[in-house]
Amino acid sequence: MKQTILLLTLTVFGLTSWKHKQTTEIRNDFKKYYDQFDVEGSFVLYDPQADKYIFYNQEQSEHTFSPASTYKICNSLIGLETGVIKDENFVIPWDSVTRQNPNWNSDHDLKTAFKNSTVWYYQELARRVGGQQMKYWLDKANYGNADTSGGIDKFWLTGGLRISPKQQIDFLKQFHDNQLPFSQRSLDIVKNIMIAKDTLGYTVRAKSGWGSQDNKEIGWYVGYFEKNDKVYYFSNCIQTADLNNKDFAKARIDIVYQIFDELKILNNIKDSSENILDEFLKHKNQELKNELETNKILERLNGNKYLITGNNDNYLNDSNFNKDLFI
C-alpha cells in the first residue's frame, strides 16, 4: 500500500512539473530595431498563455535604471490608496510656473496628468503623500529597490529609485492580476487611466518614461496588450549618449510595435476579419453611433481596405473619420 501511494505521488508531481515548465527565447536579431534609431536597449516580453519569456539583451534586462515617468503607475496607486487624491477626476491647480511642455501649463486631474506625463502634478502628489508613507507603500508593493533617497519629489527622476526591465514585467503581472497590496478600486482607476489604445480588437495599457542616468538618456515603454482572456506583457528600455537624437522619443514605442508585428502577436490578438464582418452584419440595421465607432471596426480588419464612396456619404467630411485606414 505504501509503495502504491509513493508511486502516485511521484507521478502527479512529475506531471505537474512538466505542465508548468517555463521557457525562454533569446532574440539577438531584435538588435536591428534598436540600430535603426541609433540606440542601445533591451526588450522583455512575457506570454502567460505559454508561460514564455522572450528577451533581447537579456543581460541588460536584469540591470536597474531610473523608472522616470513609468513610476507614475505606482505613484497613482499610492496617491489613491492613501486618500491624497480621491479619484481620477481629482484636480491639482497649476502653480503658474511655465514649463517646457505646454501641455503641463494648466490645471490637471489624475487622468490628464497621466496622459500628458505631467511631472509637477505627480511631484505635488508625492509631497502630499510624504516620505514615510511613500516608503511604506513602495516596500509593500516590492517596487524595484524601493529607494526613496534624493528627495520626495525627485527620487524616481534623479534620486535612488531603480527598477530593471524584468522587474517592470513582474510588477505589471501583479498589477494586471490584482495581486498588488492596493484596493480593487485603486487598481481599477489606474487601469482605466493607463489605456493608451482601445480598439474593438485589443486594448493597450502602458506608460512611457524619459530620464537621465550615468550621462545617458533613458527611455521606457512598459505595459501590456489585452484581448479577452489573452494578455502579453512588455518592457522596452532604451539608452543613448546622443542628447540630440531626434528619434529617441518615438523609438521607445515604435520598437515595441515593430517587435510585436514580427512576432505576429497583434494578429493573434485581433479577431479574424470573417468574425468581425459577421458581427457587423448581425447589426446591419442598427446605425453606427459615430465615426469613431466606425474607425474601431475598420481597425479590426486585417489586409488592404479600399474606400468606395457614394453621393450621400456625408460622414466622409467628419473630422473623426480616419481616411488613412484606406489605400
Residue 217 Ramachandran class (φ > 0 left, ψ -120 to 50 alpha, else beta): beta
Cell numbers for 23: 521557457
Residues in Cβ contact with 43 at an 8 Å cutoff, skipping those fewer than 6 apart: 27, 30, 54, 55, 56, 57, 61, 165, 234, 235, 236, 237, 255, 256, 259
Question: Element (H or E) spanning 42, and its range?
Answer: strand 40-47
What Cα–Cα distance (Å) separates residue 73 from each residue in 200, 207, 208, 229? Answer: 24, 8, 10, 22
Whose cell is 534586462? That residue is 61
CB 307 within 8 A of CB 326: yes
**How does strand 203-213 pair with strand 216-227?**
antiparallel
How far is 47 from 49, CA to CA, in rounded Å?
5
CB 38 within 8 A of CB 242: yes
Please list the alpha-helical segments (H only) found in 2-66. Answer: 2-19, 31-35, 58-61
How far is 266 from 67, CA to CA, in rounded Å?
26
Q: Which residue, 158, 164, 120, is CA-closest to 143?
A: 164
Active site amino acids: 69
Residues in Cβ contact with 50 at an 8 Å cutoff, skipping those fewer than 6 apart: 23
